[in-house]
Amino acid sequence: MKTHRNHSNYEPFQPAYGLTHRHFQTMFSSLFRKQSRPKIELERFELNDGDFVECYWHHRPVKESQKPIVVLFHGLAGSFESPYIQGVMNALQKEGFNSVLMHFRGCSGKMNRLPRSYHSGDTADAKAWIESLQQRYPKSSLFTIGFSLGGNMLLKLLGEWGDSSPLCAAVSVSAPLQLDICATRMNRGFSRFYQYILLKELKHGLLKKYKKYDMKSLIALDEKGVRQLNSFRAFDDVYTGPIHGFNSASDYYRQSSAKQYLKNISTPTLIIHALDDPFMSAEILPDKDEISSSVQLEVHTNGGHLGFVSGHFLKPRYWLENRISQYFKTFISTVAK
């Protein structure tokens, strides 16, 4: 197994007492976290292909605002309802940032207008949204965070942008940098439990499209066939890949994995990862010569998938929220100059 050194001077993550196991870290927030729900303002962003995404603002700025804006991208089947999204938005507000979550197509609770959906390498919507913010709020510095699938998408976008990125800094958390390896890992052992939960959501969303579109003619599978899909790879082979222009799941994974884009990133970027993440294995992590000098790879022994719960299980602290806020704050004085 590859070993990776923590390149950050920041205090490494220490798991909460009683929550060292990867699955406890991964599931704790979803099962037990209680927090205040951020007040949001909805903005529907129209896309060039006739579709839309819904964006949830926590303190939407006025045009002349100079307050920094953080754009969030959730994980697979995630949304504003995801505990990690609400927690980070609350934490950012306390540190002086406005924030906005861009839901991927169909993830806000409203079905999108087209037979297609979203995927791990679909950077066009995020690019359009960020560039619109740059035009509308020219005095605000822009930052981004991508979680899991959203992290892979964000890193791919940063690599595609290269030197032309409008962002001050970015953070990716628990990103599946090599999708093929992650799809295989999710179909093994206890990870199949997570696959079952997420796949159930994906199939539910796809089945709703059968009521509006002739999906059988588009993907050569009827509703019964959709219900029988039992892995991400199977789902991506019949729907995600073909509907988005890929030849197969393997072709989709190959073209959409962010690892191959890391060496082209010019935006200061922090990648946070846990070696015990049950959604993937350590072989997805890049070697030093596979990342640019703008990328800081921070690998922790524990943390699970989007977990990183510290403190004590009776009094948990959510380490990611402070880590991300502090990372972004290091760029504020630089931007102000």
Residue 267 sits in the same domain as residue 138 = yes
Residue 271 sits in the same domain as residue 290 = yes
Model confidence pLDDT, tens digit, residues 277-306: 999 999 999 999 999 999 999 999 999 999
Model confidence pLDDT, tens digit, residues 233-282: 999 999 999 999 999 999 999 999 999 999 999 999 999 999 999 999 99
CB 45 within 8 A of CB 53: yes
- Report, in this order, helix, strand and coil percent for the chain, each rounded to 5: 40, 15, 40
* Predicted local confidence at residue 69, as pLDDT: 98
Residue 203 sits in the same domain as residue 69 = no
CA distance 87 to 66: 23
pTM here? 0.95
End-to-end CA distance of the chain: 44
The residue segments making up the domain with residue 83 are 22-178+259-336
Model confidence pLDDT, tens digit, residues 117-154: 999 999 999 999 999 999 999 999 999 999 999 999 99
In the predicted model, is pLDDT for residue 34 greater than 90?
no
* Predicted local confidence at residue 11, as pLDDT: 74
In the predicted model, is pLDDT for residue 2 greater than 80?
no
- State how beta strands 142-147 and 315-318 pair: unpaired
**SS3 letters for 235-304?**
HHHHHHHHHCCCCCHHHHHHHHCHHHHHHHCCCCEEEEEECCCCCCCHHHCCCHHHCCCCEEEEEECCCC
Residue 251 sits in the same domain as residue 300 = no
CA distance 133 to 140: 9
Q: How many domains does the chain have?
A: 2
Residue 159 sits in the same domain as residue 296 = yes
CATH number at residue 51: 3.40.50.1820
CB 142 within 8 A of CB 119: no
Which of the residues are catalytic? 148, 277, 305
